[in-house]
Chains A and B, each alone.
Chain A
Amino acid sequence: MFIFGIVIDDDFTRHKIEEMYRMYRKLLFYTAYCILKDYHEAEDVVHTAIIKICDHIDKIEDIKCNKTKAFLVIIVRNIAINVYNKKRRLSEIHMEKLMNLNDDYIHPEEYMLKIENAEWVARKLALINPEYADVLVLRYTYQLSIEEIAYLLNTSEGNVRVKLHRARKALHEIMKGEYYEQQTPE
């Protein structure tokens, strides 16, 4: 889905933006509304997301694929969560307990041994905090830079780094010992 440094004809880009909006406008609005429960705020979030996505439209190759759909949801969801947190005067990072995670070393090979449970791990990570899973995806699956992620999610680079760090810690915690052993599905 993502291609870098490609030169796209201007008319083509505009048509792509229009196609993306017409196809996903309900999904984007629904995603924002589910978090904010406010029509105006949800609308503002969609505006912001569209503008930011359009600035990176050259990286979207295929509008109709699932990866694009999920990407758009991640952007809107995270912008909406930021708005929600600000409204409730909450810190954007509120899973403080994760900061005190045990830093016991797990050899990366051990991660690979448990790779067959990646689907469950992903779900678990999203349960701990969907933002962590989202930022991890943007960084490692979509291969975006910290700067690009910060721009798309309408937040600071520092915030992205903290979330990324905590996402890795959370994953580490999931993969580690007892918690993992007890909850691994059959």
Chain B
Amino acid sequence: MNNRHQNKNHIKQKKLLSAFYDYVGEYHLDNICADIDSRKIEIDNIDIPQSLDDWFDRYINNVKKKEKQRKFIKKAKSISSKTAAILLVLFVSITTLTLSVEAFRTQVYNLLSTEHNEYSRVRIRHESTENVTIEWENYYFPTYMPEGFYVASIREVEEIKEINFINENNEYIVFSQAPNETDFNLDTEDGIKTELVINNRKAVLTEKEERNILFWNNEEFSFYLVSRLEAEKLQIIAESLEKK
């Protein structure tokens, strides 16, 4: 209790002293100003070196430059944050558009498939819907194709190359090729199998659900054709292969 009282007194006295120092200080300032006034003529007549003014001009220009830089950085920061927001909106919009429009969906599918390749070993290099140019090397291509069919798309999955032909009636022919000993997974279960000869080699024709699947091979590659076209036409196509 006594200590608290002493502390309180000490604080009061400190305040009192501070007020006194301040009061004395005010007089000290008055004295300084009076002293300056008494020397006014001397002060006014003193020669200032030109270099002092030059230094000040440089100094103030530097201040201006720094001020400009600071303003520029501030503006740049503000613009960059706005740009980031705009980019985010654009990204979201494009993503929405991409996932909702058919034309884009194919492209995104390809992209995802390619990325997925890292894990599944499925590689899709190219897929398109028209004006397809085949840029593969060392592949077979049929020199005969029924009238009206054209290459609609191609795809490459590991070593399997697949060319899809269609016509205006949406009839299709799928032609696939891969080095011998490559595993093909073809759904021929419960189909009617017939043996044929393609270029002096045994071939297997499977008819299932109105589709014909023709499978054969040569010295280096295995092939198959899948279509609803007649088996005879598929056989002619098979025999017309030419290496590119």
A positions within 8 Å CB-CB of B: 10, 14, 17-18, 21, 25-27, 29-30, 33, 39, 43, 46-47, 50-51, 54, 66-67, 69-70, 73-74, 107-109, 111-112, 115, 118-119, 121-123, 125-126, 133-134, 136-137, 139-141, 168, 171
Q: What B residues does A10 contact at CB under 8 A? A: 67, 70-71
B64 and A121 contact, CB distance less than 8 A: no
B27 within 8 A of A: yes
Q: Flag if A14 contacts B52 (CB, 8 Å).
A: no
**B63 pairs with A17, CB closer than 8 A:** yes
Please state if A108 and B32 are interface contacts (CB–CB under 8 Å). no
Q: A66-B29, A137-B28, A171-B21 are in contact. Are A112 and B16 (CB under 8 A)?
A: yes
Main secondary structure of the interface of A (DSSP, over half): helix
CB contacts (< 8 Å) of A133 on chain B: these are 25, 28
Q: Are A14 and B51 in contact (CB under 8 A)?
A: no
Q: A14-B64, A47-B55, A50-B56 are in contact. Are A67 and B22 (CB under 8 A)?
A: no
Contacts of B148 in A (CB 8 A): none
**Which of the 9-residue segments B38-46, B128-136, B152-160, B211-219 touches chain A?**
B38-46
Chain B, interface size category, equals 35 or more
Determine the residue in chain B with the shortest Cβ distance to A140. Answer: B21
Q: Mark B51-68, 1 if CB is under 8 A from A, else 0.
A: 111011001100110010
Shortest B160–chain A CB gap in Å is 69
The answer to whether A26 and B43 touch (CB under 8 A), given A43-B52, A141-B26, is yes
A52 to chain B, nearest CB (A): 12
Contact B31 A119 (CB under 8 A): yes
Closest to A47 in B: B55
Tell which of A107, A123, A141 touches B22, judged by Cβ atoms closer than 8 Å: A141
Do A33 and B32 touch across chains, with their CB atoms under 8 A apart?
no
Is the Cβ of B49 less than 8 Å from the Cβ of A39?
yes
Shortest Cβ distance from residue B222 to the other chain A in the assembled complex, whole angstroms: 78
26 interchain pairs, CB-CB under 8 A: A10-B70, A17-B60, A25-B53, A27-B43, A29-B46, A29-B48, A30-B42, A46-B52, A69-B33, A73-B36, A108-B16, A112-B20, A115-B20, A115-B23, A121-B24, A122-B27, A122-B31, A123-B27, A123-B28, A125-B24, A126-B28, A126-B31, A133-B25, A134-B28, A136-B25, A141-B26
The interface residues of chain B lying within 8 Å CB-to-CB of A27 are 36, 43
Whether B24 lies near A118 (C-beta < 8 A) is yes
Task: Beyond A66-B33, A108-B20, A112-B20, list 14 extra A-B contacts (CB 8 Å).
Answer: A14-B60, A29-B49, A30-B42, A47-B55, A66-B30, A70-B32, A111-B16, A118-B27, A119-B31, A126-B28, A134-B28, A136-B28, A137-B25, A141-B25
Could you say which of A50, A108, A123 contacts B31, with CB atoms under 8 Å apart?
A: A123
Q: What residues on B are CB-neighbors of A26 within 8 Å?
A: 43-44, 46, 48
Find chain B residues with CB under 8 A from A66 CB: 29-30, 33
B18 contacts chain A at the CB level, 8 A cutoff: yes
